[in-house]
Amino acid sequence: MSTSDLIVHVELGSRSYDIRIGDGCLADAGEQLPRWLGAEPNLLRILIVTDSAVQVPHAETVSEQLRKAGAEVKTCSIPSGEKSKSFQQAQELYDALVEMAADRRTVVVAVGGGVVGDLAGFVAATYARGLRFVQMPTTLLAMVDSSVGGKTGINHVRGKNLIGAFHQPSGVLIDSRTLATLPDREYRSGLAEVVKYGVILDYDFFCFLENHVDALNERRSDVLRRVIARSCQLKAAVVQKDEFETTGLRAVLNYGHTFAHAFEALAGYGALLHGEAVSIGMVCASRLAEKLNRISSEDTRRQTCLLQALRLPVDVPAEIGTQHEEIVRCMMLDKKTEGRELRFVLPSCIGHVETVKGVPSALAIECLESSK
């Protein structure tokens, strides 16, 4: 292991595991996996799940290294994109596991973004009542968000992530080098979630991001590793306190998301990436906090400036901004609403948020427009 690698330990009793963040560490998969799994490499049977954009640049490195170490490896590549979080793709992976006569020694390894991680994790959680699972996230969003916390799942035609299970991985191997091939919009979309962690939990981290905008825009690997590690630590700290989403503590992670889910639903498929919607949603939520006298306009300004400097959108697209009734309807459907009242996660300063109930919908609508 290189000395520049960072380790984040996720403490969940018997389900604890490590996240290792390195530069080029996928090449160590052949040594790292046997260590995490406590098994000789030649006894490991592995199903790698990846997608069509990730297979050649990254998943093949992993399969080569595991084979070299002596493991038996099979790879399944799914079409890239959200549509693959489906019953049909899950079925194909179950078929692959049956074909390889998978047993308790079999390990599912996800090499890809959140789609691959959620689908592969769900299949691992459910096949034979649970196979061991390792994540190797290759999008910034998957590195800082979806691969931490143990949520896995697929979509139902009536709703996203409706079918799922909590299933913690045995380890998460994050190679910052894989980000070199990630399309620009996908990369920036992940940065929105990174900024979110600063606003909800860590003022110093927010300042660090402000001071490293150029490095982030240039995807400088050393800065990225630090940023990924801190984001994982912050998410892990929340998950440790609310592993199964029962105490409400995990809700802080939804800052900006009540607005964002409405924008995503109304923009139509693919028009706004999740992180882009979250970026706009955080600015709206901070304005709402201002209107409720919970935060200063200076703190909203700082968030807006940082998001803009990271080349993320901060304004509600004109065609959505006028659909007031639709926006309120979507926000009411959001899982954080209780009865007919709107609920938001709102900052009281950079580094701290609270859940606020009973927000009048008219006030939320006023926040769609910038006051400049």
Ligand X SMILES: NC(=O)c1ccc[n+]([C@@H]2O[C@H](COP(=O)([O-])OP(=O)(O)OC[C@H]3O[C@@H](n4cnc5c(N)ncnc54)[C@H](O)[C@@H]3O)[C@@H](O)[C@H]2O)c1
Active site residues: 129, 151, 193, 235, 245, 250, 254, 257, 261, 274
- Confirm or reject binding of residue 171 to ligand X (CB under 6 A): no
**Binding segment (CB under 6 A) for ligand X, from list 4-12, 115-123, 290-298, 344-352:** 115-123
# residues near ligand X by CB under 6 A: 27
Binding-site string for ligand X from residue 122 to residue 161, where x marks contact by CB under 6 A and - marks none: ----------------xx-xx--xx--x-x---------x
Output helix, strand, coil percentages for the chain, rounded to the nearest 5: 55, 20, 25
User: Between residue 74 and residue 113, which ones bind ligand X under the rule CB under 6 A?
Assistant: 80-82, 85, 112-113
Q: How far is the CB of 241 from ligand X (least distance, A)?
A: 16
Which of 115, 144, 260, 367 touches ligand X (CB under 6 A)?
Answer: 115
Residue 322 neighbours by CB under 8 Å, 6+ apart: none
On whether the CB atoms of residues 132 and 170 are closer than 8 A, the answer is yes
Q: Which residue has the tokens 């926040």?
A: 367
Q: Is 311 helix (H, G, I), strand (E, B) or coil?
A: coil
Count helices and strands in the chain by DSSP H and E runs: 15, 11
**Binding segment (CB under 6 A) for ligand X, from list 41-49, 114-122, 165-173, 210-218:** 114-122
**Which strand (E) or helix (H) includes residue 154?**
strand 151-156
On whether the CB atoms of residues 199 and 206 are closer than 8 A, the answer is yes
Q: Which is nearer to ligand X, 183 or 358 (CB)?
A: 183
- Confirm or reject binding of residue 278 to ligand X (CB under 6 A): no
Q: How far is the CB of 342 from ligand X (least distance, A)?
A: 22
Report the alpha-carbon distance of residue 78 to residue 68 in Å, rounded.
Answer: 24
Q: How far is the CB of 67 from ligand X (least distance, A)?
A: 21
Distances (CA, A) of 282 to 344, 355, 362: 11, 14, 18
Q: Which is nearer to ligand X, 172 or 209 (CB)?
A: 172
Which of 22, 114, 169, 171 touches ligand X (CB under 6 A)?
Answer: 114
Q: Which is nearer to ligand X, 78 or 364 (CB)?
A: 78
Residue 266 neighbours by CB under 8 Å, 6+ apart: 320, 323, 326, 327, 330
Q: Which is nearer to ligand X, 57 or 321 (CB)?
A: 57
Q: How far is the CB of 111 from ligand X (least distance, A)?
A: 9
**Which strand (E) or helix (H) includes residue 344?**
strand 342-349
Which of 46, 47, 53, 109 touches ligand X (CB under 6 A)?
Answer: 53
Report the alpha-carbon distance of residue 311 to residue 308 in Å, rounded.
Answer: 5
Q: Which residue has the tokens 């592993």?
A: 243
Q: Which is nearer to ligand X, 115 or 238 (CB)?
A: 115
- Confirm or reject binding of residue 264 to ligand X (CB under 6 A): no
Q: Which residues pair with 21 in a beta bridge?
A: 6, 174
Q: Which residue has the tokens 């992940």?
A: 190
Pairing of strands 106-112, 159-166: unpaired
- Confirm or reject binding of residue 233 to ligand X (CB under 6 A): no
- Confirm or reject binding of residue 182 to ligand X (CB under 6 A): yes
Q: How far is the CB of 253 from ligand X (least distance, A)?
A: 9
Report the alpha-carbon distance of residue 315 to residue 334 in Å, rounded.
Answer: 21
Q: How far is the CB of 349 from ligand X (least distance, A)?
A: 25
User: Between residue 21 and residue 50, which ones bind ligand X under the rule CB under 6 A?
Assistant: none
Q: How far is the CB of 53 from ligand X (least distance, A)?
A: 3
Q: Is 14 exposed, middle or buried (0-12, 13-18, 19+ CB in 10 A)?
A: exposed
Contact footprint for ligand X (CB under 6 A): 51, 53-54, 58, 80-82, 85, 112-116, 118, 138-139, 141-142, 145-146, 149, 151, 161, 178, 181-182, 186
